[in-house]
Amino acid sequence: MELYIVKSGDTVYQIAHRYSTPVNDIIFANQLQNPNVLSVGQALIIPTDETRLTVGRGDTLYSIARRHGITLQRLIAANPQIANPNRVYPGQTILIPADGRHGREIVVNGYVTDAEDGTLNAALPYLTFLSPFSYRSDLSGNLTPTFHLNTALSGGHRTANLLTLTNLLETGRFSSQIAHAVLTDQAVQDAFLQNVETLLGQGGWYGVNVDFEYVYQFDRESYNQFLRRLTQRMHQLGHIVVTALAPKLSDSQQGLLYSAHDYPSHGQTVDYVVLMTYEWGYTYGPAMAVAPLNMVRRVLDYAVQVMPPEKILMGVPNYGYDWTLPFTQGTAARSLTNIDAAALAGQVGASIQYDQAAQSPFFRYYDRDGRQHEVWFEDARSLRAKYALVNEYGLAGVSFWNLNKLFRTNFLVLESMFRVEKVL
């Protein structure tokens, strides 16, 4: 797999010829909606048998080897043209050996709220766990599904299903009151756990994934105690427990989204923790990257100090946003897929730029009414930068929000760097 950045005048046919790759392979890999329209700055995956990497500023052979999950000796052996392995320069091209394009085995979770069978079938080979979102609790501990999974699909790909449990209202908003009831009322908690066991007993579930958000600060220890009780019961029944946590920078971070999420306690109690490292750029906020790498790093810097890195699944977004400028408080950005974002750039004739600090692509354009827009999304470059953190921090793996729409580039980049653990 190669990564190519479109330049002025490029066509998909010229690029295919340059890499001796069939045009249709490039169109398929990148899900190009209109192959005749490319944007300057657009990142394209080129399916090839070899992977060549351009050395970036600050790169060393050691850092590149670590990023790709291979030994330094193996990388040096694959690049005999490098006279001094201790000195590489920005702009140099090096070969990532074939056995280095499928590095260490990692755990991959994917949430889904609404997806067609074809989309799921394309994703399942790349997943350890699939987390249908979700079974929502009410104030009495009853559980209601909001997404019905075709378990035959996941079973055919050896993907394990996780029963995702939330404190969502029917409107889709998280309820602090529901969380409070489940965490503090013994009768409600007993009913909740019995309902969980009943669902698990029906088969098709490998474990549970608890995503309780906007939990009252004063319920923090009650949440910890609930997870200890839940985990003990799940382990007795042969199931695992995963929790989802807000992206905290310190234990003292305030706010309803953060304060009750106790990183050290969750890390000590459950099997895996999903860090929701996204939504810095969000629907009602100003234009910025959804998951800027510099902010993701700050979350990981804290997390690995207080919980085992081998339990951490780093959140990766599978979407972008289109904001109308200037940003006005109370206005909403439009959510769009990464494929649609790249296609939009082509439609409006925008050049795609790449923010080095955020390690994310973006572009600006004017609509028919003369209003300026700013779009942030994910591409092969931003995904590769995120996945490199998995090796750098020694994480268990990643978790996608969400897999409702296929973004084939994501899986091709993932596959070029890791092998996916299968527990079935």
The catalytic site residues sit at 213
Using DSSP bridges, classify how beta strands 397-401 and 105-112 pair: parallel, antiparallel or unpaired.
Answer: parallel
- 111-131 burial: b if 16+ Cβ within 10 Å, else e: bbbebeeebbbbbbebbbbbb
CB 5 within 8 A of CB 30: no
* DSSP character at residue 366: E
Integer Cα distance of 136 and 398 in angstroms: 24
CB 59 within 8 A of CB 18: no
- 45-84 burial: b if 16+ Cβ within 10 Å, else e: bbeeeebebebeeebebebbbbbbbbeeeebeebbeebee
Stated as kind and residue range, the H or E segment containing 3 is: strand 2-5
Residue keyed to tokens 């296929």: 406
**In 49-184, which ranges are E strands?**
51-54, 93-96, 105-112, 129-132, 135-137, 143-145, 160-166
What is the end-to-end Cα distance of the chain in Å, rounded?
Answer: 28
Pure H helices in 97-219: 117-123, 151-156, 176-184, 186-201
Integer Cα distance of 389 and 219 in angstroms: 32
